[in-house]
Amino acid sequence: MAEKLTVEEQIQQAVLKAQRELELKQQQREQNIVKLGARVVSKRVQQGQPIIDKQSGNQKEVNGVPQCYPDKFYITLQFMGAELEKEVSKDNYDLVQEMHTYFCEGYVGEVKKFGNTYIEPIITRFTQI
């Protein structure tokens, strides 16, 4: 037979339940998560451009080695209803394979493109499905 709770215990349980619900709502309000099932349809590397000295107009060199900006790595994701090209880290670029499906996770953040700032999804993790 189930034991009856006292009025104080019932009140305590109701307060705990309300606190849990409030914490969940607060967490949902502050969450910034992007989750997407997508297929990688293409990969490309954009070679880093030479670093030009503004005064001389020549490519900068350090110890005789020409300096370039770092390479950028891009993948094109195809998902239900659209396609999206995203810059990813070298590690993620090496991890994913073309024509494979992944569960992509990340967040929405600011991305700078040619001096302009855009709000876009930033994918940080790929799990093969």
User: pLDDT tens-digit profile of 84-118?
Assistant: 999 999 999 999 999 999 999 999 999 888 889 99
Please tell me the distance from the alpha carbon of residue 79 to that of residue 36, in angstroms, as a whole number: 8
Question: What would the two tokens of residue 71 be?
Answer: 């390479």
pLDDT by residue (tens digit) across 4-31?
A: 878 888 889 999 999 999 998 888 888 8
**What pTM does this model have?**
0.70
According to the CATH classification, is domain 34-128 in 2.60.40? no
Please tell me the distance from the alpha carbon of residue 35 to that of residue 124, in angstroms, as a whole number: 10
pLDDT for res 2: 57
What is the residue extent of each domain of the chain?
34-128
Residue by residue, DSSP assigns 61-112 as EETTEEPBPPPEEEEEEEETTEEEEEEE-HHHHHH--TT-EEEEEEEEEEEE
Q: 3-state DSSP call for residue 49?
A: coil
